[in-house]
């Protein structure tokens, strides 16, 4: 049995990025860029006005109030305005190019408008309300780095530089199968001794944004021949998930079938709860996860380990966002496991506090839905007191983990 840290590291080291493809920038959000880019066009590309107002020479404002004749007007989009004469002002609009000779812009609200002139009664400093050329993006400076995930903002930034296609790593193909005689599916009535399956939904909702495709190979009974036939489809996917059968019970066949198909098993137990009986195996560039069937275990396994695999194949080393918080209640746990309890994060008197007084059963989906974070309780400790500081992994919006 290996630690969570060792398991995550092994998953990431065992997988290499897929090949790349060139796609439109509008389709690139969430993708990982292959090569970094530098600023190719300064921004702003010219000195321009940050406000609707009047371009002036501050040397004309040594004595106040000062009255300046409005010499001309500069609408936004004017390619090259005339030079501003001494003792004159120019009407200018937000984003319009500053005329030569002007060294400040005064807001229209701060002037008195006369018939053909303006009266200025307050001091105006050089550079006032001017966006200087290159102050946002300087030519040659780094724009986006190799291996960065392209967010909506970064993709828009590239478009602002005239980049409309980008070379990104491909996203992995994921296949999955759900196992278990006890499972009941859509359209079937629930009978005593059966449970409704939701792990296929867990896989799809948690992982789909990091995958090129999610292929559902549906359900198989706890039958080794049926399971072998389904898992044989793993060769057509970069990552394949088997829900259930990962433990060592009489009807748990995942371990032996993975080996029979030629996969090397890197680990089959992790010192974590929920999610201990987790299998990770590879064959060439293909990976298989045997994932515990309890739904909360499946959630945690996908969040901590499977997403790591999908991001590694996509060229990115991801790390869930972590914050520190004080426990709002005492906790007791086995010392030899790192536990990920469901919790609720609050702000009390300016301090982050987290409460874990929810049902912590690995089958308690209601408690998971009531939580807004995972609380990391480290190995080596049996008891944590109220007020102790712990790491917390917030759910970004309460339901979408990635």
- The CATH number of whichever domain residue 150 belongs to comes to 3.90.105.10
Write down which residue in 313, 334, 364 finishes a domain: 313
Distance between CA atoms of residues 4 and 208, nearest Å: 23
> Which pLDDT value is given to residue 400?
38
Model confidence pTM above 0.85? no
- pLDDT classification of 200: cutoffs 50, 70, 90: confident
* Helix (DSSP H) and strand (DSSP E) numbers for the chain: 8, 28
pLDDT tens per residue across span 35-90: 999 999 999 999 999 999 999 999 999 999 999 999 999 999 999 999 999 999 99
Are both 303 and 193 inside the same structural domain? yes
Residues above pLDDT 90, as percent of the chain:
78
- Residue 128 pLDDT greater than 70, yes or no: yes
SS3 state at 89: strand
107: β partners = 53
Are both 179 and 295 inside the same structural domain? yes
Distance between CA atoms of residues 195 and 183, nearest Å: 5
- The CATH number of whichever domain residue 347 belongs to comes to 2.40.340.10
Are both 360 and 300 inside the same structural domain? no
Are both 63 and 188 inside the same structural domain? no
Give the number of other Cβ atoms within 10 Å of residue 230's Cβ. 20
Write down which residue in 278, 313, 348 finishes a domain: 313
For the chain, give the mean pLDDT.
91
pLDDT tens per residue across span 231-273: 999 999 999 999 986 555 555 678 889 999 999 999 999 999 9
Considering the domain boundaries, does residue 401 fall inside one?
Answer: no
Query: Which structure tokens are listed for 263?
Result: 């996969």
Please classify residue 96 by burial: count the beta carbons closer than 10 Å to its beta carbon, then call 0-12 exposed, 13-18 middle and 19+ buried.
Answer: buried
**Which residues make Cβ contacts (< 8 Å) with residue 374, sequence separation at least 6?**
300, 303, 340, 341, 342, 343, 392, 393, 395
Are both 93 and 180 inside the same structural domain? no
Considering the domain boundaries, does residue 30 fall inside one?
Answer: yes
> Which pLDDT value is given to residue 15?
96
Are both 247 and 349 inside the same structural domain? no
Dihedral in degrees, nearest 10, Cα atoms 137, 138, 144, 146: 180
- The CATH number of whichever domain residue 118 belongs to comes to 2.170.190.11
Are both 265 and 217 inside the same structural domain? yes
> Which pLDDT value is given to residue 398?
40
Considering the domain boundaries, does residue 136 fall inside one?
Answer: no
Closest CA to 379 of 333, 332, 334, 338: 338
Distance between CA atoms of residues 154 and 142, nearest Å: 12
pLDDT tens per residue across span 291-322: 998 889 999 999 999 999 999 999 987 788 89
Are both 250 and 233 inside the same structural domain? yes
8 A C-beta contact, residue 49 and residue 94: yes
- pLDDT classification of 399: cutoffs 50, 70, 90: very low
CA within 13 Å, CB half, 326: 10
Considering the domain boundaries, does residue 198 fall inside one?
Answer: yes
Are both 194 and 295 inside the same structural domain? yes
8 A C-beta contact, residue 123 and residue 64: yes
Considering the domain boundaries, does residue 192 fall inside one?
Answer: yes
Write down which residue in 131, 154, 179 finishes a domain: 131
Domain of residue 127: give its range.
48-131
Closest CA to 295 of 337, 233, 342, 334: 342
pLDDT tens per residue across span 150-163: 999 999 999 999 99
Considering the domain boundaries, does residue 179 fall inside one?
Answer: yes
Considering the domain boundaries, does residue 400 fall inside one?
Answer: no
Are both 156 and 186 inside the same structural domain? no
Are both 229 and 288 inside the same structural domain? yes
Distance between CA atoms of residues 344 and 87, nearest Å: 65
Token pair 């010499």: residue: 71
Count of domains for the chain: 4
Q: How far is CA 253 from its chain centroid?
A: 35
Are both 364 and 307 inside the same structural domain? no
Mean pLDDT confidence for 283-287: 94
Considering the domain boundaries, does residue 80 fall inside one?
Answer: yes
């Amino acid at each position: 049995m290996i630690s969570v840290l060792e398991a995550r590291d092994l998953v990431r080291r065992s997988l290499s990025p897929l090949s790349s493809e060139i796609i439109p920038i509008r389709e690139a959000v969430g993708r990982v860029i292959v090569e970094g880019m530098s600023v190719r066009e300064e921004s702003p590309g010219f000195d321009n006005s940050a406000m609707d107002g009047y371009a002036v020479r501050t040397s004309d404002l040594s004595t106040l109030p000062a009255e300046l004749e409005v010499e001309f007007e500069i609408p936004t989009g004017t390619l090259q305005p005339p030079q501003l004469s001494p003792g004159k002002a120019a009407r200018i609009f937000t984003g319009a190019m500053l005329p030569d000779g002007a060294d400040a812009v005064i807001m229209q609200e701060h002037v008195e408008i006369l018939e053909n002139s303006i009266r200025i009664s307050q001091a105006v400093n050089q550079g006032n309300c001017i966006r200087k050329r290159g102050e946002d993006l300087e030519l040659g400076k780094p724009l986006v780095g190799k291996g960065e995930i392209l967010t909506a903002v970064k993709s828009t930034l590239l478009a602002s530089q005239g980049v409309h296609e980008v070379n990104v790593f491909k996203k992995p193909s994921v296949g999955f199968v759900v196992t278990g005689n006890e499972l009941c599916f859509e359209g079937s009535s629930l009978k005593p001794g059966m449970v409704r399956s939701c792990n296929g939904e867990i896989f799809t909702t948690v992982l789909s944004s990091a995958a090129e495709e999610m292929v559902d190979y549906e359900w198989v009974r706890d039958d080794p021949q049926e399971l072998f036939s389904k898992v044989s489809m793993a060769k057509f996917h970069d990552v394949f998930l088997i829900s259930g059968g990962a433990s060592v019970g009489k009807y748990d066949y995942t371990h032996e079938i993975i080996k029979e198909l030629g996969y090397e098993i890197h680990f089959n137990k992790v010192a974590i709860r929920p999610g201990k009986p987790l299998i990770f195996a590879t064959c060439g560039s293909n990976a298989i996860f045997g994932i515990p069937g309890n739904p909360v275990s499946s959630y945690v396994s996908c969040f901590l380990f499977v997403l790591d695999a999908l991001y590694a194949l996509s060229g990115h080393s991801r790390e869930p966002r972590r914050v520190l918080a004080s426990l709002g209640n005492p906790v007791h746990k086995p010392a030899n496991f790192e536990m990920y309890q469901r919790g609720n994060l609050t702000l009390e008197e300016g301090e982050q506090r987290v409460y874990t007084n929810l049902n912590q059963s690995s089958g308690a989906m209601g408690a998971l839905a009531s939580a807004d974070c995972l609380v990391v309780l480290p190995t080596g400790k049996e008891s944590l007191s109220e007020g102790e500081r712990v790491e917390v992994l917030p759910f970004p919006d309460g339901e979408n983990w990635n």
